[in-house]
Amino acid sequence: MTEMTTDSPAPTARAELLARLARPITYDLAVIGGGATGLGVALDAAARGFSVVLVESDDFAKGTSSRATKLVHGGVRYLAQGNIALVREALHERTTLLRNAPHLAQPLPFVMPSYHLWETPFYGIGLKMYDALAGEAGLGATEFMGRARTLHCLPTARAEGLKGGVKYWDGQFDDARLALALARTAAAKGALLVNYCPARELLHEGGKVVGLVCEDAEGGQRFTLRARAVVNATGVWVDALRQQDAEALGKPVRPMVAPSQGVHIVVDRDFLPSDHALLVPKTADGRVLFAVPWLGKLILGTTDSPRQDLAREPQAFREEVDFILNESAKYLRRAPRAEDVRSIWVGLRPLVRPPDDEGGNTKALSREHTVLASRSGLVTVTGGKWTTYRAMAEDVLAKCFDEGLLPARPAGATVQLRLVGAPATPVRHRIYEGQGWHSYGSEAAAVQALPGAQAWLAEGLSEAMVRFAVRCEYARTVEDVLARRCRLLFLDARLAARLAPRVAEILQEEGQNDPGLPGFLALTQQYLQLPV
């Protein structure tokens, strides 16, 4: 397969995108939802030669897909649950993702510290099984370590009572920028993708879904899009479209998603100044605790709490923040306190509800994805995780083929498809070291050629990067730039607030009339607000 050229970034001018949206054509596939799943479906379909349109109500990866724990992993805890098939698939996809986006996803070593003698052999044997399942796709061999070696890898781990540890390998990535790379690669393959363009209604003819009506959120213009197949890839929000589809047919449907909330806290790297992540496989309530170096900071998390509402910006519960800080104090010599928090962010996971589920314990719900088709032909996909986005996309297209919505074409078009920016030579940087030119890969020279390449707003963010975000990365607002084109809101919300006015000025210089500055400043306060 011939690799695509990425040296000349394609523009993403809003007026041109809307003009294309207005054309009266029938697409092979229309995708609703611009998170990891929807973008993966759009890329896979476009790579197979189908005509594709994708609309997203907000920004790409605005919801769950920008709020992951930043891990490309096989799922160690799923192995403990005995879900061998899910782990094997994820390990295979982990290798594919690391190969196709090496500027955005790389290997990362993890250490499980042992404070009881039985922990090292117990967890070590399980991780050896993890290695065996990975086979040739393994990233490094599991190691049994003594106390001194464990403290070398985790220099600020609590030394009192430490017996040793186990080291194993998984991957790490920049989730929002990877989503953007999927969108831009799909566009390079001919797909039309438009953010800030919510789907307002589904179109039905003769009991079948034949398209949708969407609306430009900025100008209010409506567009009618016809398509042979329509995919509902709206994550935790899939049930709203399913219900709309069912009402058109006169038959209600039961909700299929039970949202689970995951909270992450960001602190400075000096709480764990290491290129290794810390993993506690079983905390006081049975959940996993991570301390992961990422873009110059340290992520602590995550929680797993049921949530009934579907807020775009969910708030952390007090008990979740307390849980993370209290558990961290058991394993770190200097425990982070509330005043050390740089940012708090929350993601909603779309866990698939079994038919007889009455809600409650989200830890027991499936992490696997589900693909189904309604009587009208609306294909819905939800569940799963970032690591398996590509496999999920293949399953969605297989369902479209099985339902007779599209003519079957061979799978595998994205296995060797390197994403926009993937460098031809090996990448030597590490994601945990911080933001910078390296995240642009082969496009770095094009970004550096823009005005303001050396006008640094903060470490890892120059004015040229802001201009590139507007011109070639679909950015429309200050939040788009500081939350998802660079990750500053997630790393240091106070610093993001200080830089926001200058970013807004650059957006206006680039022709964006309303960069949404007041809303973003309010959002930064939410990312700093400890629940009471």
Cβ contact 115:282 at 8 Å: no
Of the chain, the percentage scoring pLDDT greater than 70 comes to: 96
| DSSP codes of every residue in 190-201 | T-EEESS--EEE
**What backbone torsions phi and psi does residue 408 show, to the nearest 5 degrees?**
-65, 135
Note the pLDDT of residue 354. Answer: 67
Confidence of residue 532 (pLDDT cuts 50, 70, 90): low
Q: What confidence tens digit (pLDDT) does each residue in 78-112 have? A: 777 777 888 899 999 999 999 999 999 999 999 99
Cβ contact 212:203 at 8 Å: yes
Residues near 475 by beta carbon (within 8 Å), at least 6 away in sequence = 59, 466, 469, 481, 484, 485, 507
d(C-alpha 165, C-alpha 121), whole Å: 9
515: nearest Cα among 486, 480, 487, 469? 480
Confidence of residue 511 (pLDDT cuts 50, 70, 90): very high
CA distances from 73 to 50, 262, 401, 489 (A): 30, 17, 29, 24
Query: Is the whole-model pTM more than 0.75?
Result: yes
What's the whole-number mean pLDDT along residues 499-518? Answer: 97
29: nearest Cα among 19, 16, 38, 20? 38
275-300 burial string, b = 16+ CB within 10 Å, else e? ebbbbbbebeeebbbbbbbbbbbbbb
Note the pLDDT of residue 105. Answer: 95
Type of residue at 67: R
Helix axes 463-472, 493-509, angle to 10 degrees: 60
139: nearest Cα among 179, 99, 176? 99
Cis-peptide, bond into residue 302, ω within 30° of zero? yes
Type of residue at 233: A
| DSSP codes of every residue in 410-423 | -S-TTTT-PPTT--
Q: What confidence tens digit (pLDDT) does each residue in 9-25 have? A: 999 999 999 999 999 99
d(C-alpha 503, C-alpha 288), whole Å: 37
Note the pLDDT of residue 6. Answer: 42
110: nearest Cα among 166, 29, 60? 166
**What backbone torsions phi and psi does residue 455 show, to the nearest 5 degrees?**
-90, 90
Residue 43 DSSP one-character state: H
Confidence of residue 381 (pLDDT cuts 50, 70, 90): very high
Token output for 169: 């390998």
Give the 3-state secondary structure of residue 459: coil
| Mean pLDDT, rounded, of the chain | 92
306: nearest Cα among 319, 292, 291? 319
Q: What confidence tens digit (pLDDT) does each residue in 205-234 have? A: 999 999 999 999 999 999 999 999 999 999
Q: Cα 390 from chain centroid?
A: 13
Note the pLDDT of residue 531. Answer: 73
Alpha helix locations (H) across 403-529?
444-448, 463-472, 478-479, 488-491, 493-509, 517-528
258: nearest Cα among 281, 236, 274, 241? 236
Q: Break the chain down into helix, strand, coil percent, rounded to 5.
A: 40, 25, 40
Token output for 80: 């403990």
Cβ contact 486:460 at 8 Å: yes
Q: Cα 99 from chain centroid?
A: 17
Q: What confidence tens digit (pLDDT) does each residue in 287-335 have? A: 789 999 999 999 999 888 888 889 889 999 999 999 999 999 999 999 9
Phi-psi category of residue 33: left, alpha or beta, with phi > 0 → left and psi -120 to 50 → alpha: left
Residue 527 has pLDDT above 60, yes or no: yes
Residues near 446 by beta carbon (within 8 Å), at least 6 away in sequence = 7, 8, 9, 440, 468
Residue 290 DSSP one-character state: E
d(C-alpha 514, C-alpha 468), whole Å: 18
278: nearest Cα among 412, 184, 162? 162
Token output for 141: 């061999």
d(C-alpha 121, C-alpha 457), whole Å: 48
Cβ contact 208:374 at 8 Å: no
d(C-alpha 102, C-alpha 428), whole Å: 10
Give the CA diameter of the chain. 71
Confidence of residue 434 (pLDDT cuts 50, 70, 90): confident
Q: Dihedral, CA atoms, 350, 356, 358, 360, nearest 10 degrees?
A: -60
Determine the straight-line distance between the first and last CA of the chain, rounded to whole angstroms: 55
Cβ contact 127:109 at 8 Å: no
d(C-alpha 32, C-alpha 42), whole Å: 10
